[in-house]
Amino acid sequence: MASRAEPVDTGGRRDWRDVARDAADLALLGILLTLAAAPLLTAAAAAGTASAAVHDWTRTGSWPSARTTVRRFGRSVLPGVPVSLLALTGAALLAADLAALATGRVPGGPAALLVTALIAAGLAGYAGLVVVEVGGNGGGRWRASARSAARACLDAPNRWAALTGVVALAGLLAVLVTPVAVPILAGYTVAALHAVAARRPVPADPTAGRSVPAAAVGRRELT
Question: What does the pLDDT look like over 23-39, one tens digit per residue?
Answer: 899 999 999 999 999 99
pLDDT band at residue 104, thresholds of 50, 70 and 90?
Answer: confident
Amino acid 194: pLDDT = 94
8 Å CB contact between 87 and 43: yes
- % of the chain residues with pLDDT over 70: 83
pLDDT band at residue 137, thresholds of 50, 70 and 90?
Answer: confident
Lowest mean pLDDT among 12-21, 33-42, 151-160: 12-21
| pLDDT at residue 207 tops 80 | no
- The pTM (predicted TM-score) of the whole model is 0.77
Amino acid 211: pLDDT = 39
| pLDDT at residue 67 tops 50 | yes
Q: Average pLDDT of the chain?
A: 82
Provide mean pLDDT across the span 43-71: 92
**Backbone dihedral region of 15: left (phi > 0), alpha (psi from -120 to 50 degrees) or beta?**
beta
Buried residues in 121-145 as b, exposed as e (16+ CB within 10 A): bbbbbbbbbbbbbbbbbbbbbbeeb
| pLDDT at residue 205 tops 70 | no
Segments making up each domain of the chain, as ranges: 16-199+212-216
CA distances from 156 to 57, 73, 153, 161, 169 (A): 25, 30, 5, 9, 20
pLDDT band at residue 12, thresholds of 50, 70 and 90?
Answer: low
